[in-house]
């Protein structure tokens, strides 16, 4: 499917900068909050940006490679965690409730049938991907269908009045997909892309690398993002790619979580680099290769607090800072309004 993504507007850059600099504070003294406010203002092309109906969507899918032991946990944890989400007991539930953010779960390809009465959005493509040590994870048609289904989810959320979206994921084994996607789309050596995932020790990481390297050596495709996703992706990953592309098309602000979500964004940016203008980067994951992804994307993370849980939790913990940025640009008095003398210095936001 085709996405019609426009570049983020620059028409209000100077006015946004003047408004931020004109607040009753020393220039630049709110640090990262000023950058966040500036970026959201650009995305919304507004001097008074608003966050409306913020939503976090967790996409879930199983991975065939998990059968080979690339994760500390068995595949069954994926579907068990979806039941935990529905009971409100996971970290993402706690944090989304804390910040009054709408929470949705999408079954992109879990190897389990859920009761239709559960509040899970059923977009299942198949009961998990194939084991890419032996064959492609999915067909090209399944990959493209994943884009479409992810995009459809976001379009529905946007119609509910949402202009601020963040993504989470659940899928045991998906750090393996993310490592391969990173390596192939950036030419970074695979050994630098493979990390602990759900908590592997040094020997576990080495075994994981050996399995992924075997799969990589058998791959005879190129670095086209659709080919890479077809070979090594997960159904949740390809749906997030479609979700990212649609959110950018709809000019929504995206708060990007950790390693898995950034791998999907990386793939989306190879399809259309304009998506990056709509993104804020919540944190630097403690998964070792995440910083390499961020550096490749020239992305500056807002937080670095050692998180690597996934689910969208890093984005949820970061959200209050984003909200503070929007609050200050809208509600903080200017020097002129407060009758306070201002500096003659001039500062830009890089």
- Its pTM stands at 0.96
> What pLDDT score was predicted for residue 204?
83
pLDDT in tens, 295-325: 999 999 999 999 999 999 999 999 999 999 9
pLDDT of residue 347: 64
Q: Is residue 349 scored above 90 in pLDDT?
A: no
For residue 199, is pLDDT > 90?
no
168 DSSP β-pair partners: 58
Choice among 89-98, 232-241, 334-343 with the minimum mean pLDDT? 334-343
pLDDT at 350: 64
- Report whether pLDDT(344) > 80: no
SS (H, E, C) 263-331: HHHHHHHHHCHHHHHHEEECECCCCCCHHHHHHHCCCCCCECCCCCCCCCHHHHHHHHHHHHHHHHHHH
CATH class, domain 55-327, is alpha beta
CA distance 350 to 276: 15
What's the mean pLDDT in 334-346?
A: 82
pLDDT digits (tens, 9 = 90+) for 58-79: 999 999 999 998 988 899 999 9
- Considering the chain, what is the average pLDDT of its residues? 96
Q: What tens digit of pLDDT does each residue of 255-268 get?
A: 999 999 999 999 99
| Selected catalytic residue, list 311, 342, 344, 345 | 311
Give 105-122 pLDDT, tens digit per residue.
999 999 999 999 999 999
Structure tokens that stand for 131 in this block: 């084991």
311 is catalytic: yes
User: Is 212:232 a contact under the CB 8 Å cutoff?
Assistant: no
Boundaries of every domain in the chain: 55-327
User: Can you tell me the distance from the alpha carbon of 121 to that of 41, in angstroms, rounded to the nearest whole number?
Assistant: 32
pLDDT for the residue numbered 345: 67
Residue 334 CB-density burial (10 A; 0-12 exposed, 13-18 middle, 19+ buried): middle
Instruction: Report the C-alpha gap between 317 and 313 in whole angstroms.
Output: 6
**In this model, does residue 197 exceed pLDDT 80?**
no
**pLDDT tens profile 141-187:** 999 999 999 999 999 999 999 999 999 999 999 999 999 999 999 99
- Asked whether the beta carbons of 317 and 101 are under 8 A apart, the reply is no
């Amino acid at each position: 499917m085709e996405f019609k993504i426009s570049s983020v507007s620059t028409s209000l850059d100077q006015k946004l900068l003047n408004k931020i600099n004109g607040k009753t504070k020393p220039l630049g003294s709110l640090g990262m909050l000023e950058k966040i406010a500036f970026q959201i203002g650009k995305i919304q092309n507004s001097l008074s940006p608003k966050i409306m109906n913020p939503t976090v969507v967790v996409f879930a899918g199983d991975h065939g490679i998990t059968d080979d032991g690339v994760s500390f946990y068995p595949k069954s944890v994926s579907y068990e965690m979806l039941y935990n989400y529905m009971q409100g007991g996971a970290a993402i539930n706690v944090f989304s409730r804390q910040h009054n953010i709408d929470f949705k779960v999408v079954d992109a390809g879990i190897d389990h049938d859920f009761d239709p009465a559960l509040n899970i959005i059923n977009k299942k493509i198949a009961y998990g991907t194939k084991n890419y040590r032996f064959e492609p994870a999915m067909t090209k048609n399944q990959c493209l269908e994943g884009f479409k289904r992810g995009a459809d989810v976001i379009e529905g959320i946007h119609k509910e009045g949402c202009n601020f979206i963040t993504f989470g994921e659940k899928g045991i084994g998906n750090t393996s997909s993310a490592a391969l996607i990173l390596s192939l789309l950036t030419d970074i050596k695979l050994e630098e892309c493979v990390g602990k995932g759900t908590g592997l020790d040094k020997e576990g990481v080495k075994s994981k690398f050996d399995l992924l390297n075997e799969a990589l050596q058998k791959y005879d495709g190129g670095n086209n993002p659709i080919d890479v996703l077809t070979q090594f992706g997960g159904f949740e990953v390809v749906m997030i790619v479609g979700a990212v592309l649609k959110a950018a098309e709809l000019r929504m602000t995206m708060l990007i979580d950790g390693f898995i979500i950034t791998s999907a964004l990386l793939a989306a940016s190879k399809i259309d680099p304009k998506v990056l203008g709509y993104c804020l980067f919540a944190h630097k994951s403690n998964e070792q290769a995440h910083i390499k992804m961020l550096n490749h994307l020239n992305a500056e993370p807002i937080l670095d607090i050692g998180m690597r849980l996934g689910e969208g939790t890093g984005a949820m913990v970061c959200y209050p800072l984003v909200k503070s940025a929007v609050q200050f640009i809208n509600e903080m008095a200017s020097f002129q309004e407060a009758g306070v003398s201002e500096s003659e210095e001039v500062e830009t936001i890089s």
